[in-house]
Amino acid sequence: MPITSVTKDPEALTMTVTADFAVPVQRLWDAFADPRELERFWGPPTYPATFYRHDMTAGGRSQYEMHGPDGDVSAGYWEFLAVDAPHSFEVLDGFALEDGTPNPDMPTMRMTFAFSATPEGSRVESTTWFNSADELEQLLAMGMEEGMRAAMGQMDAMLADLEAFAAGRGTVPQILSDTQVRVSRVIRGTVDQVWRAHHEPELLKRWMLGPDGWSMPVAIAAENLGDSYRFEWAPDPGGPADGAPPFGFEGELLESNPPHREVTSERMIGMEGPGTTNELTLTPRQDGTTLLTVVITYPTKELRDIVLGTGMADGMETSYARLEAELVGV
């Protein structure tokens, strides 16, 4: 059991949980920074979590749901107040309504997570500040301590699974819901480099090409909120895609927090009907690489399945491999 102590201080209105692990600090930090790993332990075994958003930077936000065995759902969120990788982060932790907005009928808490090295590996110390004695008693009565013990009890096995989240795993799509898919890829490059590669037209034309045999004659990136973007592709004459029709996508920049996160709308040029919403998040890793995640929200489950069936992930992997080649040469 990784938890070594739980200390409750009714006068200070705090609860501190200390857990020790036989892994380096970097490995422990990355487990909290990577939503694919975080959702493997943030929630008791019978209430696994799914993170729909996780931008771990000051001012960023996480949104998640824990799904119970009887179909019941408990939603929550973190608002990141401070992030000092790989030493600590601080969040405002709260309950959420079905649409992800804060639940005004439930308390919020301030939580800090501090990471440090030990002779055996690393330690995380989590301290929760409650607003009142009544709220402390309420949340403890709801099983907060037991939930944290059960959740962190899953971490040893997850942390030992080094290969499952290795940098060389490639582009991995994960279905989050009937209409949402998360695509993840670790990129050998810094967050600033990966952000720039998504916004400089000449760089975009060199890597965002999908399968071999295509070129990108049009790459108009959006710079400011409300700006439109337009990307178009055409088959190379004499190449493996010769004879295929050209195509493209367009949309608007809906949200931007450089160099960590942006949200865009997307629709195929000439296609009627609603398009998708794409949430790009870039998270720095302590080995100098960047975790890239894109959460795609489709208008229907049917369209989600059609797009996944086209080999979307394979095309994205080919593009991201080119992106790495570009960044390695920078």
Spatial neighbors of 325 by CB under 8 A, at least 6 apart, are: 207
What does DSSP say about strands 14-21 and 121-129: parallel, antiparallel, or unpaired?
A: antiparallel
The answer, yes or no, to whether residue 165 has pLDDT greater than 60, is no
Q: Which of 92-101, 144-153, 179-188 has the lowest mean pLDDT?
A: 144-153
Whole-number Å distance between alpha carbons of 225 and 292:
21
Whole-structure pTM value: 0.86
Average pLDDT, integer, range 16-38: 91
Predicted pLDDT of residue 1: 47
* Residue 16 neighbours by CB distance under 10 Å: 16
Q: Are 187 and 320 in contact (CB under 8 A)?
A: yes
Instruction: State the Cα angle at 34 between 279 and 17, rounded to 5°.
Output: 125
**Edge-to-edge, what's the strand order for the sheet holding 276-284?**
172-175, 180-187, 290-297, 276-284, 261-268, 247-257, 228-235, 214-220
Average pLDDT, integer, range 217-221: 96
Q: How far is CA 145 from CA 27, 107, 137, in A?
A: 24, 16, 11
Q: Are 66 and 49 in contact (CB under 8 A)?
A: yes
Confidence of residue 169 (pLDDT cuts 50, 70, 90): low
Predicted pLDDT of residue 46: 86
Whole-number Å distance between alpha carbons of 145 and 168:
37
pLDDT digits (tens, 9 = 90+) for 245-254: 999 999 999 9
Higher pLDDT, 295 or 137: 295
Whole-number Å distance between alpha carbons of 229 and 227:
7
Predicted pLDDT of residue 150: 82
Q: How far is CA 8 from CA 145, 158, 267, in A?
A: 10, 27, 52
- Record the tokens describing residue 41, joined without a space: 């332990």
DSSP secondary structure code for residue 190 in this structure: -
Average pLDDT, integer, range 263-288: 92
The answer, yes or no, to whether residue 167 has pLDDT greater than 80, is no
pLDDT digits (tens, 9 = 90+) for 221-242: 999 999 999 999 999 999 998 9
Q: What is the set of domains in the chain, with CATH numbers? A: 3-163 (3.30.530.20), 167-328 (3.30.530.20)
Four-point Cα dihedral 277, 194, 160, 37, nearest 10: -20
The answer, yes or no, to whether residue 97 has pLDDT greater than 80, is yes
* Residue 69 neighbours by CB distance under 10 Å: 8
Among 32, 131, 158, 35, smallest CA distance to 83 is for 32
Q: How far is CA 207 from CA 51, 159, 204, 266, 307, in A?
A: 29, 33, 6, 19, 21
Q: Are 102 and 96 in contact (CB under 8 A)?
A: yes
Higher pLDDT, 235 or 310: 235
